[in-house]
C-alpha cells in the first residue's frame, strides 16, 4: 500500500475554490454575454465563418480588455498579426481532428514565439472567450490555459495562499512553454479535474478580483475560504 500523500493546504483551498466558483457558471455567462457579446454585436454563430468580422472583434476586445501596459502600437501589431493568421486559425478550428491535436495547432498561432503583443494572458483569454462564452469547440475545454493577470495572481497569492515559489508575479509575462508556467497550469488541471471541472474555470477569479473587490467581504464568493479579508 502506498503511504498517504500529504496535500499542501493551498491545494486543498484551491479544491474548495473551484467548487465554489462553478456554482456561479450562470452569472459568469450572463456577465460576458451582456458586457462583451451583446454590446459588441458579436454573433456567436458566425465566429468560425470564413473571414469572420465577429472573430476579429472578439480578438480586438481581448487585446484591449486586460492589456495592462500594452500600448496602441502593440495592439495594432497584434491585430495585424491576427488578420494575417485568421484564415489559418478558422481552418484549424473547423477541422475534424482530435481536440488535443487541434489545441496544439492552435497554440502555434495563438501563442507566437516572437513578441507581437500576444502573450499567455491575451492568447489564453481569447480562447476562453471563444470556447467558454462563445460556445464554440467545447472539446477544447480540458486543454485551455488559465490566463494569469494581476487580478488573478493577487487572488491566488493574497487570498488563497498560493506560495510565491509556485506562482511568482513575473509569471504573468511568461511564455506558455516555460517550465514554471506549465507546472502551475498542470497543478490547476489536476485539482480542477478531480472535481469534474477544468482549470479555465479558475478564471472566474478575475471576476472576483475585478467586480467582487468592490463589495463587502461577507458578500464575496470566496469569503468562506479567504485568508485575507482586508485586501
Contacts of 194 (CB under 8 A, 6+ apart): 15
Question: Cα-flanking dihedrals φ and ψ of residue 162, to 5°?
Answer: -70, 125
pLDDT higher for 128 or 151? Answer: 128
CA distance 14 to 208: 14
Place of cell 454590446: 39
pLDDT tens across 24-69, in order? 999 999 999 999 999 999 999 999 998 889 999 999 999 888 655 5
Grid coordinates representing 37 are: 457579446
Give domain limits for the chain: 9-219
144, burial (CB in 10 Å: exposed 0-12, middle 13-18, buried 19+)? buried
Residues 126-144: what's their mean pLDDT?
98
Report residue 1's pLDDT band, with 50, 70 and 90 as the boundaries: very low
DSSP secondary structure string for all residues of 27-60 = HHHHHHIIIIITTTT--GGGTTSTT-HHHHHHHH
Amino acid at each position: 500500500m502506498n503511504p498517504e500523500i500529504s496535500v499542501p493546504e493551498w491545494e486543498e483551498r484551491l479544491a474548495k475554490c473551484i467548487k465554489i466558483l462553478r456554482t456561479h457558471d450562470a452569472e459568469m455567462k450572463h456577465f460576458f454575454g451582456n458586457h462583451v457579446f451583446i454590446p459588441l454585436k458579436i454573433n456567436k454563430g458566425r465566429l468560425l465563418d470564413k473571414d469572420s468580422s465577429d472573430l476579429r472583434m472578439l480578438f480586438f476586445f481581448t487585446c484591449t480588455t486586460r492589456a495592462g501596459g500594452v500600448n496602441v502600437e502593440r495592439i495594432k501589431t497584434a491585430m495585424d498579426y491576427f488578420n494575417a493568421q485568421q484564415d489559418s486559425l478558422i481552418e484549424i478550428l473547423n477541422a475534424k481532428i482530435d481536440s488535443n491535436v487541434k489545441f496544439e495547432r492552435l497554440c502555434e498561432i495563438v501563442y507566437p514565439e516572437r513578441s507581437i503583443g500576444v502573450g499567455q494572458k491575451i492568447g489564453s483569454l481569447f480562447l476562453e472567450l471563444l470556447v467558454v462564452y462563445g460556445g464554440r469547440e467545447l472539446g477544447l475545454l480540458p486543454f485551455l490555459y488559465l490566463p494569469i493577470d494581476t487580478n488573478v495572481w493577487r487572488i491566488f497569492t493574497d487570498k488563497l495562499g498560493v506560495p510565491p515559489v509556485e506562482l511568482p508575479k513575473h509569471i504573468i509575462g511568461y511564455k506558455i512553454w516555460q517550465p514554471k508556467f506549465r507546472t502551475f497550469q498542470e497543478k490547476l488541471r489536476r485539482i480542477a479535474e478531480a472535481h469534474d471541472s477544468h482549470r479555465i474555470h479558475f478564471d472566474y477569479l478575475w471576476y472576483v478580483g475585478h467586480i467582487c473587490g468592490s463589495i463587502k467581504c461577507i458578500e464575496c464568493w470566496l469569503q468562506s475560504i479567504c485568508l485575507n479579508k482586508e485586501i
